[in-house]
A and B are shown apart, each in its own frame.
Chain A
Amino acid sequence: AQTVTQSQPEMSVQEAETVTLSCTYDTSESNYYLFWYKQPPSRQMILVIRQEAYKQQNATENRFSVNFQKAAKSFSLKISDSQLGDTAMYFCAFMKQVSYNNNDMRFGAGTRLTVKP
């Protein structure tokens, strides 16, 4: 079974600075997807960024980028120019690539990020 580990339960960063959240995973699959989700106090899960395992290029979405190291099974999230609105829980998630019947999306325990003014 796949497992996702987020080793940093809590982190903080000063506004406008850069912070990196860590995630490692364990799988025997060769094709899969990795995600970072943001959960603000409203509890809604918001997709931040997605990475396909077959792509060597790291995904980027505005201030958010990932460092995907497939051999090391590492998937870290970098937030540049941190903003107060980035304060939230961040979850790393793994999903197998299955053509139709997909039952397996595994989440890490989360990292609580606080952006300080």
Chain B
Amino acid sequence: NAGVTQTPKFQVLKTGQSMTLQCAQDMNHNSMYWYRQDPGMGLRLIYYSASEGTTDKGEVPNGYNVSRLNKREFSLRLESAAPSQTSVYFCASRSSGLAGVGYQETQYFGPGTRLLVL
């Protein structure tokens, strides 16, 4: 079971270049997320997708676009990279299941993509 996969693992860009970060999950989850992680700031939500065909902004969406290609895949695009976007990017998907009273919910994370913008 691969879980959540991300490509690439590491990327160096020059200011103004564009690129797409890929994410895929094989757990049949409806919801998928993109986070960025910066030193001393934990993880911050960039965009999320509650289901195939829908996307919504999170806490820090500026400079990014997303695409929910199908249920498995959720990509993050930087149209014109800036040094402030140097970060580690995590994709996640969310499970939810009825267990006894109420729902049990957990997010599963990919291994991350390190992006350096020069």
Contacts and interface: CB of A to CB of B under 8 A. Distances in A.
Interface string A96-107: 010111111101
Interface residues on B, range: 20 to 34
Contact of B107 (A4, A105, A109): A105
7 contacts: A35-B106, A50-B104, A52-B104, A54-B101, A91-B42, A97-B105, A107-B42
A45 B102 contact: no
Interface residues of A, number: 30
**A-B pairs with the 4 shortest C-beta distances?**
A45-B109, A107-B42, A101-B50, A107-B43
Contact of B42 (A33, A44, A108): A108
B89 to A, nearest CB: 11
Interface of A: 4, 9, 31, 33, 35, 37, 42-47, 50, 52, 54, 91, 93, 95, 97, 99-105, 107-110
B42 A102 contact: no
B104 A47 contact: no
B94 interface: yes
A104 B45 contact: yes
Given A43-B111, A102-B31, A54 B42 contact: no
Given A91-B42, A109-B41, A47 B108 contact: yes
